[in-house]
Chains A and B, each alone.
Chain A
Amino acid sequence: MALLSESTKTKVQAPKPMATPSAWQAWRYRSKVALREPTTLVGILTALIFTYLILVPIISIVFDAVRVQFGHERRLRQDVGDFTLYYIDRAFFSPVAHDLFWRPLLNTLTVALGAIALSLVIGTVLAWLISRTDMFGRRWFATALIVPYMLPAWTFALAWTTLFKNRTIGGQPGWFEAMGLTPPDWVAYGRFPITIILALHYTPFVILLFGSALRRFDSQLEDSARILGARRYQVAVQVILPLMRPALLSSMVLIFAKCLGEFGVPYVLGLPVKFEVLSTSLFRSIASRQTGVAGVVAASIMLIGIITLLIDARLVREARRFVTIGSKGSMNRQNRLGRMRLPATGFAAAIFILSVGMPLLTLALSTVMKMPAKFTFDNFTLDYWIGTDLHTVALQTGILLSPELWAAARNTMMIVGLASLTSGILGLLVGYVVIRTPVRALSVYLRQITFLPYLVPGIAFAAAYLSLFAVPRGPMPALYGTVTILVLALIADQMPYASRAGISAMTQLGKDPEEAAQIAGAGWFRRMILIVIPIQKGSLVTGVLLPFISGIKGLSLFVILAVPSTDVLTTYSLRLVDYHYTQAANAVVLIIAAIAYFGTLLAQKLTRTNLAEGLGS
């Protein structure tokens, strides 16, 4: 009874507050809580930065597509900047639309579908062999078969031309041509090689995604079916395949999106026979200053990219329903291959040789041979690497002694390094804000805006940057030809990976360690310095390293935004290709491939993760 009377007394002291406060009171309280810490402020600032770096360029290029461009005032009898449907008409309906848009679109689609089909067939078989059988050397293959993904795709395009180039175009002949076997054009250039190369390059996607789904697969599900009397093939068709469908569809969609933005391979292999895809068509429009048409093509590429990845997002959501929590059942059970063990290993080895061994070997050999395909001792030389006083018009030293290479390397390190460092730090900040801010709208906006560049193929994004920053706007001077535009574009382009890394790191960290510090009396800055950053050291390193690697081998952004003074390794090697300095170009590509490969290994080592997890998330 005493208890009751006392609690009544306190109630008399002060009237009990109303359970539901007025809207104004609730708003005041919420904003007080939200603004108490810098999280929200940091969030608003980063949101503004990304709006400017990501959203505004995209809007700008879409506007370019429907506004009269400089030089067309006369023909259209309108002022520069007026609304017009001329470019849309030109790209979609005019007599040249076929060349500008429709054939490139058709080519893009057929190449992408071919690549998807081929890589699915090869990839699923390899994934199964690696993760569920007793094939010889499966551990080694598990890493070795992923290598193509770590190398720039057009490495393989260059290897292909080194082997198959025929007399259609000038310069040093390919090996087969040199041996007297002239490859037909359809083998040397265009659809066939592009499809093969993209398929081989993206097969690791299937191996990683499908393989990790296979490994996560709870074998108790399989066992239950077997115990109920299902045969092996029945289990495969009725249990395993349906559950694997999301992973398969997801890798298909990802490959499609990647093919859409692929520039280097069709540029190297398509141009000689005027085989155009959307990205090369866009490049041509930009190179010929058809800004309006470029806007239309870029916007179309973005639209296709966005639609594709929205489909993927749906599939991933669907896949979540299928997540079978790995318990003790998800052990890695192996199927015995029996008599097929050796042939299976042979198949994996063949794919490895085709997709890694041959191309790299070809490239490496091509850089130390004077004449193609002449395997005599006197034909080998290190001149292309370290020679001096060569009898060529330009590039009279070996590539390693050429100041241009080192200038390009320095540029690469500086531009890509600066951009990666910035995006890595921004990524962690974004991750922090997205997970922590009490303002939900801010969290959602930041998450989506930083993800947006992922939906936009690099080449279209570069076009968007060109459209926005080529001329001075407001306080911003014209940035074309500067290092700044490259750094900004790279930061924006890398934000999807950086922010995802940041968000997943913060999600994994959870709130608890930070809340415990808060309870112990630590304010925001102390928590950042004493708890969050020390714990997140590792993911900060990856958050910088992974964008760095993809930036090093990236081509499509640079090819549009870089000028000779801001040459990076990739554009430098492309320029060498254009000048038919085959050996030098191949050497540079090998250097890039080596940096990308060892960088990836380093990143994996540092974080003790593998690429599959990064891809799957």
Chain B
Amino acid sequence: MPTINLRGAQKNYGVNSANAVSDLDLEIRDGEFMCLLGPSGCGKTTTLRMIAGLENLSGGEIRVGDRIIDSVADGIFVPPEKREMGLVFQSYALWPHLTIERNTDFGLRLRKLPKAEREARVERVMQALDIAKYRDRYPSQLSGGQQQRVALARMLAVNPGVLLLDEPLSNLDARLRLEMRAELKRLHTEFKTTIVFVTHDQWEAMTLATTIAVMNEGTLQQMGTPNDIYDRPANRFVAEFVGSPPINILTFGKPGDSDVADKAEAYFAARYPQLRGIDSIGMRPEAMGYAARLEDVPQGSFFGEMTVTGVLPTGGSWILELRSASHTLFLTTHALPRVDSGEHVFFHIPPEALHAFDAGGQRITEADAVLRSNTYN
């Protein structure tokens, strides 16, 4: 399917209600696996439903290639049944009165394909998703994971130009979710379909997507590869939403009130006087290290002395909770911690791992190069 383009897409559900989606520009290219990521109520599902045609727009337009399929200004609306897309619902929405086979076959029958071809295609997807043995059962006789596969098979059977997935894994247990994730990745390669995937689970987005679009309060916050999103968050929202435990934020400009932040401000003033307008900095827990003695803190890194108030094992790694008079920071370590609650430690972080944000919460991109080039001089 050609590139899908949302431009200025807008949705509000009532005259006086806030926009569910406002002025959204989004480009989904052929073969992409795009994740729409954001907290609940951020407009990601609405966006998906707008693409499918299940929600009409309040403004803006949607194009597929050069063809406008939805536009308020031009009065164009291609109904969902003519958009040739596939959508897997969060609830799976299997038709309870049809068998698994008939569920899978439904779209093909509507397209009036010859019987032999229908059978072949149904067989292929049922094999691919390992549900052929349930063909004569009804949806209520299947487990959640099996229903999920049927919902996928039903859509893949018609070979849609784009497959839209609305939090399809959220109703599965942890183990099944992992399996289905791998399955989805495999299907993406096997069927070469464009996939748009809605999730609030950052881990899911990170592992699956080729591109992630982070949304909040109806607006697009950042679009990029998973690494981009994680390593170079465009603003504080993205920085804080992605990552677990969440990124540590130190806000400048409240002298006296904020010991560690004061120290950070002084660190920047001394080493990078050319950087202006920094309002806050972010430190990923994974990027931080700690040392029991000041001598062990690496040269040139930003550091601070804090008290350990908690050592939380997460199986394979540990989260240290550090406190000062006014701050609580989290730090992740993969080696067995040699410290205990109540002890003083020095956390440290190399300058290239610091994220600088301005007063509006936007990333100060000029700072990236500066922080990287100035390492250890």
Contacts and interface: CB of A to CB of B under 8 A. Distances in A.
Interface string A281-311: 0000000000000000000000000000000
A519 B52 contact: yes
Contacts of A535: 95-97
B158 A515 contact: no
Contacts of B80: 515, 518-519
Given A30-B56, A515-B54, A534-B97, A20 B10 contact: yes
B75 interface: yes
A44 B57 CA distance: 24
Given A16-B7, A17-B61, 12 more contacts: A17-B72, A18-B73, A26-B72, A36-B77, A511-B54, A516-B151, A517-B95, A518-B81, A519-B54, A519-B86, A523-B81, A531-B95
A376 interface: no
A521 to B, nearest CB: 5
Interface in A526-550: 526, 530-531, 534-535
Given A515-B93, A518-B54, A521-B158, A32 B61 contact: no
Contacts of B54: 511, 515, 518-519
Interface string A250-261: 000000000000
Contacts of B56: 29-30, 33, 438
B39 interface: no
B7 A512 contact: no
A514 to B, nearest CB: 8
Contacts of B73: 17-18, 21, 25
Interface of A is mostly: helix
Contact residue range for chain B? 35 or more
B5 interface: yes
Nearest to B54: A515
Contact of B8 (A18, A36, A526, A530): A18
Given A7-B27, A515-B80, A519-B52, A25 B72 contact: yes
A21 B72 contact: yes
A29 to B, nearest CB: 4
The 5 A-B pairs of least Cβ separation, nearest first, read A512-B93, A520-B107, A516-B93, A21-B72, A29-B72
Interface string B89-104: 1011111110000000
B52 to A, nearest CB: 6
A515 B110 contact: no
Interface of A: 7, 10, 16-21, 25-26, 28-30, 32-33, 36-37, 438, 510-513, 515-523, 526, 530-531, 534-535
Interface of B: 3, 5, 7-8, 10, 22-23, 25, 27, 52, 54, 56-61, 71-73, 75, 77, 79-87, 89, 91-97, 106-107, 110-111, 151, 154-155, 158
B95 A29 contact: no
B7 A17 contact: yes
Residue with the greatest number of chain B CB neighbours at <10 A, chosen from A19, A20, A518: A19
Contacts of A18: 8, 59, 73
A18 B87 CA distance: 28
Nearest to A29: B72
A517 B22 contact: no
Contact of B93 (A16, A19, A513): A513
B58 to A, nearest CB: 7
8 contacts: A21-B73, A29-B56, A29-B75, A32-B75, A512-B91, A520-B110, A520-B155, A521-B158
Contact of B27 (A10, A512, A515, A523): A10
Task: Specify which of A521, A531, A535 lies most central, judged by the most chain B CB atoms within 10 Å of its CB.
Answer: A521
B23 A19 contact: yes
A176 B291 CA distance: 102
